[in-house]
């Protein structure tokens, strides 16, 4: 376990990491791959999912057997989920606070939310770091469109790399364009179906959010 | 990596000032220059002007301010400094222009403040990228760009 208390013995709040992106890009699949990888590295974890009017994603993760179902909370936005991760994140803040109260040792809370297509962003009041997930099936022109989610996130994840040859996408130029629109800030490639690239995402979280390295 | 948690004071605190004075004589003050649009973060990793890799976390109710003292011990101090937030001030010509500008600013998720009849856009990137989004309003002289404030 990493230190969760400072030198004076004060407990440090859990890091809060947002995972956003268009519907179908693989956000929940990424969470399902991250959970075992993070747990294997000894990270005490909880998850919040945001859905429109259901708890579909939360139920999927609770049933996965990957994590104690009590550590998975659902926020039902009642509107496009971007409203509760940016404009008024109070529902998510309360859900995260509640998880920290119920699991005092929790070090990392993943907050998944779709919504608002390429313009979705997370409030700094809610998250310490946020990832944006796109996929090659959406087209290799997605980075060039310079959506705020693509440009402003702390880490851009391009998922479903295995589909590239089937949808006429060349990964190398897509990656180069993503790095270009982000002025060289991090971009990682994943294939969540097979777990490829997940270790790099976990390492980025360990370095930039959990300060392990 | 220097792990820092919480704000321990402010460079203007009288008690801190006397200690900083001593540290300054030994060349022990390091500045952590935080970009204004990143100031809301509660957790970040950034190098000081002397190259020290700092991993900073704050309590959820703590707000990082210019001059916040993050570390002071052993003849060494780390102080947060902000650059000035870049802004773009726009005065709509009339109510109709104001409605149009407000609609676009909201739809584009710009960070804004209101100063009377002026909309102040807090810039996270080059002004030209913002200007391009409302070029039609500017071309129609519906907005006055205020540069002398």
Q: Find, among A40, A35, B108, the residue nearest to A49 by Cα.
A: A35
The counts of H helices and E strands in chain A are 6, 7
Q: Mean pLDDT over all residues of chain B?
A: 91
Q: Report how far residue A45's alpha carbon sits from residue A103's, in angstroms, rounded to the nearest whole number.
A: 9
Q: Please write the tens of the pLDDT for every residue from A121-136.
A: 888 889 999 999 999 9
Q: Please write the tens of the pLDDT for every residue from B99-125.
A: 999 999 988 888 899 999 999 998 878
pLDDT of residue B145: 95
Residue A108 pLDDT exceeds 50:
yes
Burial B112-140 (b: 16+ CB within 10 A, else e): beeeeeebbbebbeeeeebeeebeebeee
Residue A3 pLDDT exceeds 50:
no
- The CATH class given to the B87-146 domain equals alpha beta
Tell me the mean pLDDT in the region A7-36: 87
What ranges do the domains of chain B cover?
2-82, 87-146
CB contact, 8 Å: A15 with chain B?
yes
Q: Please write the tens of the pLDDT for every residue from A36-79.
A: 999 999 999 999 998 877 788 889 999 999 999 999 999 987 77
- Give chain A positions within 8 Å (CB) of B55: 211
Residues 6+ apart with CB under 8 A from B53: B1, B2, B45, B47
Q: Please write the tens of the pLDDT for every residue from A139-168.
A: 999 999 998 899 999 999 999 999 999 999
pLDDT of residue A11: 61
Q: Report how far residue A103's alpha carbon sits from residue A125's, in angstroms, rounded to the nearest whole number.
A: 21
| Higher pLDDT, residue B44 or A54 | B44
Q: Do A6 and B55 touch (CB under 8 A)?
A: no
CB A211 within 8 A of CB B1: yes
| pTM for the predicted model, two decimal places | 0.82
Which B residues, 50 through 109, put their C-beta within 8 Å of a C-beta on chain A? 55, 57, 59-60, 109
Q: Report how far residue B74's alpha carbon sits from residue B59's, in angstroms, rounded to the nearest whole number.
A: 24
CB B53 within 8 A of CB B5: no
Instruction: Specify the long-range contacts of residues B109-114, CB closer than 8 Å, at least 24 apart.
Output: B109/A86, B109/A119, B109/A121, B109/A148
CB contact, 8 Å: B1 with chain A?
yes
- Is the backbone of residue B109 left (phi > 0), alpha (psi -120 to 50) or beta? left
Q: Report how far residue B86's alpha carbon sits from residue A73's, in angstroms, rounded to the nearest whole number.
A: 38
Q: Do B40 and A86 touch (CB under 8 A)?
A: no
Q: What's the topology of domain B2-82?
A: HSP40/DNAj peptide-binding domain (2.60.260)
- Hey, what domains does chain A have and what are their CATH numbers? 15-208 (3.40.50.300)
């Amino acid at each position: 376990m990493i230190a969760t208390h400072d030198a004076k013995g004060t407990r440090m709040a859990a890091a809060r990491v947002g995972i956003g992106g268009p519907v179908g890009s693989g956000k929940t699949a990424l969470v399902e791959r991250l959970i075992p990888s993070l747990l294997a590295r000894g990270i005490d974890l909880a998850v919040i999912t945001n859905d429109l009017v259901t708890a579909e994603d939360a139920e999927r993760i609770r049933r996965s057997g990957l994590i104690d179902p009590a550590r998975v909370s659902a926020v039902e936005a009642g509107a496009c989920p971007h409203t509760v991760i940016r404009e008024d994140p109070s529902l998510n803040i309360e859900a995260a606070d509640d998880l920290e109260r119920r699991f005092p040792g929790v070090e990392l809370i993943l907050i998944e939310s779709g919504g608002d297509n390429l313009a979705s962003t997370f409030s700094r009041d809610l998250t310490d770091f946020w990832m944006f997930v796109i996929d090659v099936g959406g087209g290799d022109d997605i980075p060039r469109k310079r959506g705020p989610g693509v440009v402003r996130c702390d880490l851009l994840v391009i998922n479903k790399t295995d589909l590239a040859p089937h949808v006429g996408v060349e990964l190398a130029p897509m990656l180069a364009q993503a790095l270009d629109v982000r002025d060289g800030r991090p971009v990682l490639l994943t294939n969540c179906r097979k777990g490829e690239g997940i270790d790099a995402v976990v390492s980025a979280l360990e370095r930039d959010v959990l300060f392990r390295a | 990596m220097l792990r820092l948690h919480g704000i321990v004071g402010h460079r203007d605190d009288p008690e801190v000032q006397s200690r900083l004075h001593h540290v300054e004589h030994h060349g022990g003050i390091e500045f952590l220059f935080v970009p204004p649009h990143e100031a809301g973060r509660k957790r970040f990793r950034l190098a000081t002007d002397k190259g020290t890799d700092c991993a900073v976390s704050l309590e959820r109710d703590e707000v990082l301010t210019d001059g916040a003292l993050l570390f002071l011990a052993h003849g060494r101090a780390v102080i947060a400094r902000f650059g000035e937030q870049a802004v773009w001030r726009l005065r709509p010509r009339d109510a109709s222009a104001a409605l149009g500008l407000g609609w676009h600013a909201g739809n584009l998720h710009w960070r804004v403040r209101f100063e009377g009849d002026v909309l102040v856009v807090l810039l996270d990137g080059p002004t030209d990228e913002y200007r391009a989004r409302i070029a039609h309003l500017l071309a129609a002289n519906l907005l006055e760009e205020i540069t002398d404030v």
